[in-house]
Structure formats: C-alpha cells, structure tokens
Amino acid sequence: MDSDSRVLARMMRSLNDHLPGERKTLKELLGEDKPRVVCRDGSTHRIRKEELETIERIIGRRWGEEAERLRLPLLIEMVPDYGRSAARIRGRIYCEIVQTILHEEKKKAIDEMIIFRPDVRRLRRALPSATQYAFMTSTS
C-alpha cells in the first residue's frame, strides 16, 4: 500500500474513533453517579441521566430483563449504500426505542430499520448523548 492509500485508510479508520471501546449496559449506566463511556480515542463521553431515564421508561416494563442487557450509546449507523444520509438501526430493542421516539406505528417487532435525515435529526435531538453516529463502509 502506498503512502496516499495509507493516509486514506487511516483517515477512514479514525472516523469511528469517537465510538466507545466498550458499551455499557443501561443498568450499569443508571447505577453510575456520572454515567460515561470511554471512547476508542481515549476520551470520555458523558451520557445524561435524563436520557437514560427516558430510555428506561420506554423499554423498562415491556422488555424486563432484556432491558438490563441493553448496551448504550445507541449506534446510528451511517451506511452510504442505503443512500445519502440514510441510517440503519440494528437490534430489536433499539428499533423499539427509535420507533417510540419517532412516534412510529409499531406493527410488529423488527430487527433492523432504516431512517432518513429528518428522523435522524429528531432522534439526535431527543437523545443527543445516548446516541452516537457510526460510519460504516458497507452493508455487510
């Protein structure tokens, strides 16, 4: 690989440096006085308690024990393959949270959903610290 390509590859890798090295469960975060996760670049990302409580309210009763295994921050995956500014949410429990926040009709449980720019903005406005963007190169 030549130097240009190396620079480009490094730049692409660094796009996701802000993601947490390890996500914490909702239960763990709610138990912390100052809920935060450590990012891959070594910085910390604080999550607001109010947002955690909002998520707990959304899923708490319906999901029971599974809610305790929910890992945060919720990832908004930006995948260029789906078109410009389209984002993917993966995981049944995460989809339910997003659907509730966006006031979407929940016909059945889904494992994956695609949302577009206006919805991404609404989601980010509702949960600015409990969600994070992840940049993916392909759908696989």
Partner 1 sequence: MADIIEGISPTRMELLKLGRRIVLAEKGYKLLKEKRDALVSEFLDVVQRVHDSRARASEKLAMAFKDLLTAQAVMGSDAVWQVSQVTGQDIRIDIDTMNIMGVKVPMITPQDVKRSMIDRGYGFADTSTMVDDAARNFEEAIEDVIKLAEVQQSVENLANEVIKTKRRVNALEYIVIPRLTATATHIRMRLAEMERENFTRLKKIKAAIEAGKKAETA
In angstroms, the CA 45 to CA 32 distance is: 13
Residue 10: CB minimum distance to partner 1, A: 10
Q: Are strands 24-25 and 71-72 parallel, antiparallel or unpaired?
A: antiparallel
Nearer Cβ to partner 1, position 13 or 92? 13
Nearer Cβ to partner 1, position 85 or 110? 85
Contacts with partner 1, residue ranges (CB under 8 A): 2, 4-5, 8-9, 11-12, 14-15, 17-18, 34, 36, 39, 41, 43-46, 48, 78, 80, 84-85, 117, 120-121, 124-125, 128-129, 132-133, 135, 137
Residue 64: CB minimum distance to partner 1, A: 30
Per the structure block, which two tokens stand in for 54? 């909002």
Helices of type H across the chain: 3-14, 26-31, 49-63, 65-69, 92-101, 117-126
Nearer Cβ to partner 1, position 106 or 137? 137
DSSP-based three-state secondary structure for 116: coil
Residue 86: CB minimum distance to partner 1, A: 9
Nearer Cβ to partner 1, position 93 or 130? 130
In angstroms, the CA 94 to CA 32 distance is: 21
Residue 98: CB minimum distance to partner 1, A: 16
Nearer Cβ to partner 1, position 93 or 98? 98
- Please state whether 63 falls in left (phi above 0), alpha (psi between -120 and 50) or beta: alpha
